[in-house]
Structure 1
Amino acid sequence: MDIDRAVTAIKKAVAQAEQKANIQISEVIVGIPANLLEIVPCSGMIAIGDESGNSKEIGNDDVYRVTKADLTQKLPPERDIIDILPDEFIVDGFDGIKDPRGMIGVRLEMKGVVYTGPKTILHNTLKCVQMAGLKVKDTLVGPLALSTVALSDGERDFGTVLLDLGGGQTTAAVVHDHKLKYTYVDQEGGKFVTKDISVVLNTSLENAEKIKRNYGYAASYLASKEDLFPVEVVGKTDKVQVSGEYLGEIIEARLTQIFTKLKDALEQIDALGLPGGIVITGGMAALPGVKELAEDVFDVNIKIFIPQQMGLRHPSFTQAIGLVQYMTVRSEIELVVKGVLSGKTVQQVAPQRATKEADDEQLVKVDFNSEKAEKKQKKKDGNGAFEGLKNFFNTFFD
């Protein structure tokens, strides 16, 4: 909404990170929010054989071309592609293939999912990052990255609703079969709770935020009438005593409104019947009583996710951790496919997979089962089987 303020916030965050990590940051991975996100299936097919119809070994170039064929569908002028994920490849009618490189065939097909978002959001987000003096290394769908760290493998497989209670907005993401199926965004988040506290208690936004964090309860019945705390009221010299229960009622009213909107949206697609229930994370998830209030509203199993990394044990860090982890678990074939969007060459994205002959040659080099190889290794190293085993693992991990 305000590019200048966003740029200032980015610069401040980067400066803090550089100071704490003692490194200089020039490239960043950008998580794109789920605002008006659309999930569109795509498919494409190319011929990979020669003119005579003979089979040919599939390589990176072929994956690159079939991805381009996938993206030939016309997008509305106001939308742009954030990410593309391959679901499966089909070689000469054989489906369910995760990585076709190294196989031979005449025809290659790819079926996948394209995530698109409004050009305005994409442009403004990337513009802010660039104005902050940073280079965008990659863009990711925020909820998809979040799910890799906040949900277990079983939760992503059988189906779970992931709620991100952020400061600026609240996002519901439905993940099933390891895929992001649906997103819904409510433009109310933690800042609206702070604003409510500020208005009702007639105090500044800064004081309201401190009060929320220090004394707030999401479910008012968990707070006590006897627990009183001082509040600086605008226009008054003396501080006013406010009970924890009264503060809880202010917070509960806004959160109940947010949860009710999310429930209505999720019920329309029958998402609340998924086995994984609902997993809640984000800054507001740290408030005591969020789990109890969510159980009352949604009437399903609720779990709060809090990162366990040292120094980051707060749900507000889940999104950032998710972006980092998602980049580390992306397969090579996914990087090749994604490279089409950025216009990178195949060599820049991922090296060509080693040929079978090279693999065989590497296996021969570490074959210590034969008597000849074993004697040669003993003579060379002088340490027998132990050195052989150590060299085997070194070569293996290389």
Structure 2
Amino acid sequence: MAKTGMYVGLDIGTTSVKVVVSEYVENQMNIIGVGNAKSEGINRGIIVDIEKTVQAIQRAVRQAEEKAGIQIRSVSVGVPANLLEVENCQGMIAVNNDSKEITDEDVRNVASAALVRSVPPERQIVTILPQEFTVDGFEGIKDPRGMIGVRLEMFGLVFTGPKTIIHNIRKCVEKAGLTINEMVITPLALTETILSDGERDFGTIVIDIGGGQTTTAVMHDKQLKFTHVNQEGGEYVTKDISTVLNTSFNNAEALKINYGDAYPERTSASEEFPVDVIGKSEPVKVDERYLAEIIEARMEQIFGKSKEVLDEIDALSLPGGVVLTGGAASLPGVVDLAQEIFETNVKLYVPNHMGLRNPVFTNVISIVDYSANLNEVYQLAKSAVTGEKVAPQARQEAAVSKEIHYEDTSVEEEEYHDEPEQPAGESVKDRVKDFFSNIFD
């Protein structure tokens, strides 16, 4: 269940770094601050320049702080699915309490027992996700604390990823002056957040088309069963337009946004628009159909690669079909093209939050919502990975501060001003309208 308080999500994407500050009141998520800064130092979803990434994070954080009127201290950050591995795990311990009542420490110990495994030196355990517990043979228990038992077992999932990726994410967040509350597996957050209970149970495919890569995830039996990353995304569509039409990357991006369509049948060959071509003094006329064919070719390739891996595991037979999201998924005609290629029902997921009704924000909203809904049992099990024993509520309360201080900053590109002082009786929630009016300034 969602907690009460404030949570901050951070999504480090190829084209932009996004930060969302959300306040939970009676299990209702209210977004009160958003930051969106152009990414530099990230290629195909992977950090390649730490300093530039740090600066992008700081810019996005500053924007979110200004909108929300708080100082951000810690974040839940998304971890991409690159080379992600999901394995089943199982642990068993004897309850060592004299009263045989299962405690927090027993949950930590059984999670530690489940983590006894050989991990290659280049990989690292990101987190562990308890599925169920068994007490003295009684199965299907979600929270064993307070129960009486002699033998405690835990069944769960353990997520491992490349040490390099995890280290670089942690390094950038820390250099930006923040601490990490939670490292969230992005496709796990997506499938848990944007799918209905039935879609998670019976099986659904989520395809996240970002700027630098496309992530395919399969959820079935309410578990993340499979992930695949294709190092192609919306930027490759733009590069194709730039190359074929011999125009600059910025012009190509504008053409994609203003005139682009991924389904040529929806376009007209008689509708033309001017294109500034390198080496020519006058713009060249290009028709909508030709531009759509360029876009279609790349999107067909992206979807084709996803279809190949999905066919190998027979995932396209799942009743939930395909859910598309991500910035590049908002391009007109993408859903029609995907339906034709996957030959199953396809729909586009768009966030339903004021000012953020664009698939480009799906990841960061999912990260913050997923982390806010993590229960105490998960936190106890995760402490077996991190070694921390901080109470979940204490970590959440440390995420933000009502006062903003700017003594130390390395961001020089933008001038920043504190929010005007608010009347004592005015809450964060009262100021939401004012913040959203300038959310993308």
The reply to whether TM is greater than 0.5 is yes
Provide the alpha-carbon RMSD of the alignment: 1.5
Which residue pairs with 2:378 in the alignment?
334
- The AA in structure 1 aligned to 2:365 is I
Q: Is this contact kept in 2: 1:263–1:298, CA < 8 A?
A: yes
**Deviation of residue 49 (structure 1)?**
4.3
Which residue pairs with 1:274 in the alignment?
318
Deviating more after overlay: 10-19 vs 298-307: 10-19
| SS of residue paired to 1:57 | coil
Cα distance between partner residues in 2 of 1:175 and 1:190? 24
**Deviation of residue 236 (structure 1)?**
1.9
Matched, 1:6 2:53: yes
The 5 A counterparts of 1:5-84 are 5-49=52-96, 56-84=100-128
**Deviation of residue 222 (structure 1)?**
1.0
Q: Which one of the candidate residues 286, 297, 305 is aligned to 1:261?
A: 305
Matched, 1:348 2:391: yes
TM-score, length of structure 2 as denominator length: 0.76
The structure-2 alpha-carbon separation of the partners of 1:40 and 1:157, relative to structure 1 and needing over 3 Å to count, comes to same
Deviating more after overlay: 180-189 vs 5-14: 5-14
Higher helix share: 1
| SS of residue paired to 2:154 | strand
- The AA in structure 2 aligned to 1:278 is V
| Residues 289-311 of structure 1, C-alpha deviations (whole Å, 9 max, x = no match) | 01110011111110110111100
Which residue pairs with 1:387 in the alignment?
none
Cα distance between partner residues in 1 of 2:244 and 2:61? 35
Cα distance between partner residues in 2 of 1:210 and 1:148? 34
The structure-2 alpha-carbon separation of the partners of 1:6 and 1:49, relative to structure 1 and needing over 3 Å to count, comes to closer
| Identical aligned residues as a percent | 56
Which residue pairs with 1:104 in the alignment?
148
Which residue pairs with 1:130 in the alignment?
174
Which residue pairs with 2:280 in the alignment?
236
Matched, 1:199 2:243: yes
Cα distance between partner residues in 1 of 2:53 and 2:238? 20
Q: Is this contact kept in 2: 1:207–1:232, CA < 8 A?
A: yes
**Deviation of residue 350 (structure 1)?**
6.5
Cα distance between partner residues in 2 of 1:227 and 1:149? 40
Which residue pairs with 1:157 in the alignment?
201
Q: Is this contact kept in 2: 1:332–1:350, CA < 8 A?
A: no
**Deviation of residue 339 (structure 1)?**
2.1
**Deviation of residue 223 (structure 1)?**
1.4
| Residues 174-217 of structure 1, C-alpha deviations (whole Å, 9 max, x = no match) | 00111100000000001111111111111111111111111110
Cα distance between partner residues in 2 of 1:227 and 1:8? 42
| SS of residue paired to 1:224 | coil
Cα distance between partner residues in 2 of 1:249 and 1:22? 46
TM-score, length of structure 1 as denominator length: 0.84
Aligned length: 347
Matched, 1:247 2:322: no
Cα distance between partner residues in 2 of 1:4 and 1:212? 30
Q: Which one of the candidate residues 207, 218, 221 is aligned to 1:177?
A: 221
- The AA in structure 2 aligned to 1:344 is E
Cα distance between partner residues in 1 of 2:197 and 2:170? 31
Q: Is this contact kept in 2: 1:216–1:244, CA < 8 A?
A: yes
Q: Is this contact kept in 2: 1:171–1:183, CA < 8 A?
A: yes
| SS of residue paired to 2:391 | helix
Higher strand share: 2
